[in-house]
Amino acid sequence: MKLKPDAGRSRLGAGWDILAYDDFEGGWGNYTSGGSDASIYNAGTYAHQGMNAANIQDNSGDASAFWLTSGIDIDTPGYTELAVDFWFEAINMDTGESFNVQYYNGSTWQTVATYVADTDFVNGQFYNEQVTILESSYTFSSNMKIKFECIGSSNTDDIYIDEVVISGN
């Protein structure tokens, strides 16, 4: 896993271990593109930092998603809390269109956060979000993965995601 020193630590404080960090400057990094509606954007404008960000669009299921390629063991170390911190900007998302953050517990995907246009965000603005996943609510496994999936209506509905930090405590 590519780790960036101090990434996410200021928000989380002491006791947190960074399990994965990606800024997409070198491509997908720790992630896998689901298909034709998930790509690396490299023109700078919609990247929170640097030139690159992950871009998901439309509503094509896994083809509109990206996820951790390899599972991370969060059970053996005894973590009780997982944090997914990321930046995003939406472009052309219509009212009610959304994107999900999903958690894979080793056997099934579960939606842990949904962000809805004109309720949780507006187009053309960067947001920094943190999703907290508790062991008391979800099964922590030795093969945990995180997925980002767009639920738009066309190829012009875009979510640009950057600086993803996954941490355990």
CATH assignment of the domain containing 133: 2.60.120.260
Within a domain: 13:
no
Given this model, what pLDDT does residue 14 score? 82
Number of domains in the chain: 1
When pLDDT is averaged across residues 111-126 and rounded to a whole number, the result is 98
Domain of 81, in residue numbers: 26-159
Within a domain: 65:
yes
Q: Please report the DSSP string for 10-70 in residue order.
A: HHH-TT-EEEEEE-STTSSTTEEE-STTEEEE-SSTT-SSSS-EEEEESS-GGGGEEEESS
Within a domain: 95:
yes
* Model pTM above 0.85: yes
Cα–Cα distance for residue pair 114/55, rounded to 1 Å: 17
Q: Would you report the helix, strand and coil content of the chain in percent, each value rounded to 5?
A: 5, 45, 50
Predicted confidence band of residue 9 (pLDDT cuts 50, 70, 90): very low
